[in-house]
């Protein structure tokens, strides 16, 4: 069985897909405060991932991209 590591392009593609899905899912008004808080946390995590990658700080020191296979 062949196992390969993901690369920055794989990670970027996945993050962009998650951002697109989040935009679609969160494109309506939140039902309540808890839902709005959840949406804020999800979007902050996705945006921080993109910001860290742009700075060259992802993956963090001592870590690698996950294996696929």
Domain boundaries, the chain: 9-24+32-55
Distance of CA 22 to the CA centre of its chain: 10
Q: Please indicate, yes or no, whether the overall pTM of this predicted structure exceeds 0.75.
A: no
Residue 39 Cα distances to 27, 28, 30, 31, angstroms: 10, 11, 9, 11
Q: Per-residue pLDDT tens, the chain, 69 aa: give them.
A: 566 777 778 878 888 888 888 888 888 777 788 888 888 888 888 777 777 777 776 666 667 766 665
The whole-angstrom separation of Cα 23 and Cα 25 is 6
User: Is the CB of residue 3 less than 8 Å from the CB of residue 67?
Assistant: yes
3-state secondary structure of 31: coil
Question: Quick check: bond before 59 cis, omega within 30?
Answer: yes
């Amino acid at each position: 069985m062949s196992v390969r590591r993901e690369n920055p392009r794989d990670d970027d593609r996945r993050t962009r897909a998650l951002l697109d899905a989040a935009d679609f899912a969160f494109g309506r008004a939140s039902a309540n405060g808890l839902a709005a808080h959840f949406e804020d946390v999800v979007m902050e995590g996705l945006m921080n991932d993109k910001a860290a990658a742009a700075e060259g700080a992802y993956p963090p020191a001592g870590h690698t991209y996950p294996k696929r296979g």
